[in-house]
């Protein structure tokens, strides 16, 4: 049982809070009917042009730094498809250069928008997106611009120029004195839209950009890497809070359940924003949460698998060819949408040392005796670098509670075999009250070798698998808002809901 003095979150209270949060987050700007739509936001044409001009003025001095951050991203041209095209189109939407919503297909209109971007930044307008074009779009992908202070600048003038707020600028630049800005200072300016997108497919590049944007906008958000994937992609951990009670959340153990990544990151962004603004929920200050709890989040456990499912791997990638060969042996599993495993064909949520041998026997009997799109347990427990990193981090952090987001069924799994940690069911019932999801017990043939199973086995503390949404994976992003409203209360309760 958690021992700090907590608070209770009631369903009615959370419902009213969620409505208020949704209204607060929506901004509708319109000018002459010219509006670039993204994630429910409207950015007027004249604001976009003003921001672009400000960005262009500082682009040259910051070009090398920014290009270094995007250098590994794919070069895109007309005919390309996949999550990175989604990302490109989403950035062009935010920049006011593309009116059509992202569809993941690089067509003629996208190419024309890229040419316009390149002209704005004095680049060769060839319509091909390389490092320089990605760098030019970087502020719109991260929601943050740098500004070189000029003589006569004030914090109020700078914030207004980018349609930001003084409070947001001060949060992003702790320690500055608004009344004493010095020429030559470089300020971080949050742009007037949220960092985390919920309308496009995700990939590891989008994750890296989002992490950059969040930590720049909220410097109190700590970021570290707990390991690397098979293909060398970083496994990011984000940390909020300084409290003694430490809890760990994770998402996207399964590649085709990548919708859980933006769910978790949207919660981090909302938490950070409300903490910075000193807001309350149910009468409790977010700053109380920050000081009482330490929240650690791994938003994408399987980045390689996510990139495979969303089409972000290069077409000539050896990893893609290897995955296609693995999938060919399992024609009943749709490719790539049915892929749950890491890029080597190991199901990460079947690779933890909790009745692993039993899981192996069950899955081998089902025909998963070698690398597969799903359900192969691997050659040994924690053989995959991703699951090994998660286990190391849990041991290092000594979590009081863990919560893993998956996507299927609107269920809350709270128990492992015959082990029921004290207070776990009671908290699951509270989660049901704020989400409508049902507490459930994993069927006997399936309650083996998962992260939640291993955590309960090792620590006898509450560990949860939250199955969000319903339908065929990958779940459509049209469900995102409904799922987030349900998950918000669960994620809040995971920090503080164990106490009476």
Query: What's the confidence (pLDDT) of residue 65?
Result: 64
> Average pLDDT of 448-467?
97
Query: What's the confidence (pLDDT) of residue 347?
Result: 98
Q: What pTM did the predictor assign?
A: 0.89
d(CA 264, CA 300): 9
Query: What's the confidence (pLDDT) of residue 53?
Result: 52
For the stretch 349-373, pLDDT in tens is 999 999 999 999 999 999 999 999 9
* Residue 63's pLDDT band (cuts 50, 70, 90): low
Query: What's the confidence (pLDDT) of residue 34?
Result: 27
What proportion of the chain, given as a percentage, has pLDDT over 70? 85
* Residue 219's pLDDT band (cuts 50, 70, 90): very high
For the stretch 164-174, pLDDT in tens is 999 999 999 99
Work out the angle between the directed axes of helices 11-25 and 480-496 (0-180°, nearest 10): 130
DSSP structure string for 50-81: HHHHHHHHHHHHHHHHHHHHHTTSPPB-TT-B
Give all domains of the chain, ordered by start, each with its CATH number: 1-27+198-500 (3.40.630.10), 28-190 (1.10.101.10)
d(CA 151, CA 123): 29
The residues, any chain, with a CB within 8 Å of residue 256's CB and separated by 6 or more, are 305, 309, 336, 337, 338, 339, 340, 473, 474
What proportion of the chain, given as a percentage, has pLDDT over 90? 81
The single residue of 111, 257, 386, 467 carrying the catalytic annotation is 467
Q: Where would I find the H helices in 188-294?
A: 204-217, 260-277, 286-292
269 noted as active-site residue: no
> 255: which 2 tokens?
């590649």
- Pairing between β-strand 245-251 and β-strand 234-240 as defined by DSSP bridges: unpaired
């Amino acid at each position: 049982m958690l021992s700090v003095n907590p608070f209770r979150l009631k369903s009615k209270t959370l419902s009213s809070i969620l409505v208020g949060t949704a209204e607060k987050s929506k901004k509708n700007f319109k000018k002459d009917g010219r509006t670039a739509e993204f994630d429910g936001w409207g950015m007027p044409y004249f604001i976009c042009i003003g921001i672009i001009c400000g960005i262009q003025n500082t682009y040259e001095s910051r070009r090398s730094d920014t290009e270094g951050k995007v250098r590994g991203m794919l070069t895109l041209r007309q005919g390309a498809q996949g999550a990175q095209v989604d990302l490109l189109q989403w950035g062009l939407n935010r920049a006011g250069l593309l009116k059509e919503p992202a569809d993941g297909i690089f067509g003629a209109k996208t190419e024309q928008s890229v040419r316009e971007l390149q002209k704005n930044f004095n680049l060769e307008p060839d319509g091909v997106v390389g490092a320089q074009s990605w760098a030019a779009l970087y502020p719109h992908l991260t929601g943050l611009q740098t500004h070189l202070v000029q003589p006569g600048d004030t914090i109020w003038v700078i914030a207004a120029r980018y349609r930001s707020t003084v409070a947001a600028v001060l949060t992003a630049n702790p320690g500055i004195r608004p009344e004493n800005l010095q020429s030559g200072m470089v300020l971080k300016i949050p742009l007037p839209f949220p960092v985390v997108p919920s309308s496009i497919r995700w990939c590891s590049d989008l994750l890296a950009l989002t992490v950059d944007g969040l930590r720049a906008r909220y410097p109190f958000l700590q970021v570290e890497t707990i390991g690397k994937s098979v293909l060398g992609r970083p496994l990011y951990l984000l940390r909020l809070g300084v409290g003694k009670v430490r809890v760990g959340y994770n998402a996207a153990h399964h590649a085709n359940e990548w919708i859980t990544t933006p769910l978790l990151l949207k919660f981090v962004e909302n938490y950070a924003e409300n903490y910075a603004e000193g807001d309350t929920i149910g009468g409790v200050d977010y700053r109380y949460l920050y000081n009482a709890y330490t929240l650690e989040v791994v938003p994408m456990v399987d980045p390689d698998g996510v990139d495979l499912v969303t089409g972000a791997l290069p077409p000539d990638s050896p990893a893609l060819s290897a995955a296609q060969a693995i999938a060919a042996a399992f024609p009943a599993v749709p490719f790539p949408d049915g892929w749950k495993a890491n890029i080597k064909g190991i199901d990460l949520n079947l690779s933890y040392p909790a009745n692993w041998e039993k899981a192996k026997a069950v899955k081998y009997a089902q025909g998963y005796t070698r690398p597969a799109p799903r359900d192969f347990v691997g050659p040994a427990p924690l053989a995959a670098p991703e699951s090994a990193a998660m286990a190391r981090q849990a041991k290092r952090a000594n979590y009081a509670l863990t919560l893993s987001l998956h996507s299927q069924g609107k269920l809350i799994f709270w128990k492992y075999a015959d082990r029921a940690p004290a207070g776990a069911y009671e908290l699951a019932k509270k989660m049901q009250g704020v989400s409508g999801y049902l507490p459930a017990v994993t069927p006997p043939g399936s309650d083996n070798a998962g992260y939640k199973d291993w955590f309960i086995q090792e620590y006898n503390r509450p560990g949860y698998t939250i199955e969000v949404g319903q339908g065929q994976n990958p779940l459509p992003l049209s469900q995102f808002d409904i799922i987030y409203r349900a998950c918000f209360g669960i994620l809040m309760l995971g920090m503080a809901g164990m106490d009476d």
